[in-house]
Chain A
Amino acid sequence: MTGAFVVERWTTASRIGFLVIAFAIVVLVAAPIVLKAGTLDRLTALFIYVMLAAMWNALAGYGGLVSIGQQLFFGLGAYFTVRLADAGLNPFASTIAAALIVAGIAWAMSHFMLQLRGGEFAIGMWVLSELTHLLVNLDRLVQGETGTSLISMNVYDPDNRRIAIYLLAFGIMVALLGALYALLRSKSGAAIQAIRDNEVAATSVGVDVLKTKRILFVLAAFGIGLAGALWLCSALTFQPKTYFSVQWTAYMIFMVLVGGIGKFEGAILGALLFFTIETWFGGTGVWYLIGLGLAAVVFSLFFPKGIWGAIEQRFGITLLPIGYRLKIIGGAE
Chain B
Amino acid sequence: MLSNLIQAVFLGGYYAMVACGLSFMFSVMRIINLAHGSLAILSAYLLYVLAQKFNINPFLGLLIVVPVMATLGWILQRYLLDRSAKGGELLPVLTTFGIAIVLDNLMFQRFGADTRSLAPYIGDLSWASYALPGGLFVGKLQILVLMTVIVVIGALQLFLKKTQLGRSIRATAMDPDTAGLVGIDAKRATAAATAIAMATVALAGAFLGMRATFEPYSGTPQLLAAFEATVIGGIGSLWGTLAGGIILAIAQTLGASVHPQGFLLGGHLAFLIVLFFRLHRNRDAILTWLRVRTA
Chain A interface residues (CB < 8 Å from chain B): 60, 66, 68, 111-112, 115-116, 118-120, 122-124, 126-128, 130-131, 134-135, 137-138, 210, 246, 250, 253-254, 257, 261, 286-287, 289-290, 292-301, 304-305
Contact = CB atoms under 8 A, between A and B. Distances in A.
B84 A300 contact: yes
Given A124-B272, A304-B86, 5 more contacts: A68-B93, A120-B275, A137-B261, A293-B103, A296-B97
The 9 tightest CB contacts between A and B, nearest first, are: A296-B98, A293-B101, A304-B87, A293-B102, A297-B98, A131-B268, A300-B94, A300-B95, A293-B98
Interface string B278-289: 010000010011
B83 A127 contact: no
Interface stretch (B6-14, B105-113, B203-211): B105-113
A146 to B, nearest CB: 14
Contacts of A299: 94
A199 B110 CA distance: 46
B101 A250 contact: yes
B54 interface: no
Contacts of B228: 123, 127
A290 B272 contact: no
A120 B289 CA distance: 17
Contacts of B265: 131, 134-135
Given A293-B100, A296-B95, A60 B224 contact: no
Contacts of B91: 257, 300, 304
Given A127-B268, A130-B268, A286-B105, A297 B99 contact: yes
Contacts of B99: 293, 297
Nearest to B264: A134
Contact of A123 (B84, B231, B285): B231
A298 B83 CA distance: 11
Nearest to A261: B90
A126 B101 contact: no
B220 interface: yes
B84 A66 contact: no
Contacts of A134: 261, 264-265, 268
A300 B95 CA distance: 6
Interface in B99-128: 99-106, 108-109
Interface of B: 26, 30, 32, 34, 80, 83-84, 86-95, 97-106, 108-109, 220, 224, 227-228, 231, 235, 261, 264-265, 268-269, 271-272, 275-276, 279, 285, 288-289, 292
Contacts of B288: 115, 210
A297 B292 contact: no
A296 B285 CA distance: 36
A290 B91 CA distance: 19
A133 B228 CA distance: 17
6 contacts: A66-B93, A126-B224, A257-B90, A296-B94, A301-B84, A305-B87
A294 B285 contact: no
A314 B89 CA distance: 24
B109 A122 contact: no
A313 B260 CA distance: 56
B112 to A, nearest CB: 11
Nearest to A249: B97
A293 to B, nearest CB: 3
A138 to B, nearest CB: 7
A116 B288 CA distance: 12
Contacts of A123: 32, 227-228, 231
Contacts of B95: 296-297, 300-301
B32 A253 contact: no
Contacts of A66: 89-90, 93
A305 B88 CA distance: 10
B269 A131 contact: yes
Contacts of A112: 276, 279
A124 B275 contact: yes
Given A134-B268, A257-B90, A290 B106 contact: yes
A111 B291 CA distance: 11
Contacts of A116: 275, 279
A292 B101 contact: yes
A130 B102 contact: no
Nearest to A289: B105
Given A123-B231, A301-B84, A131 B101 contact: no
A129 B91 CA distance: 23
Residue of B98, B102, B104, B272 with most partner-chain A CB within 10 A? B98
A15 B102 CA distance: 41
A132 B292 CA distance: 25
Contacts of B268: 127-128, 130-131, 134
Nearest to A246: B220
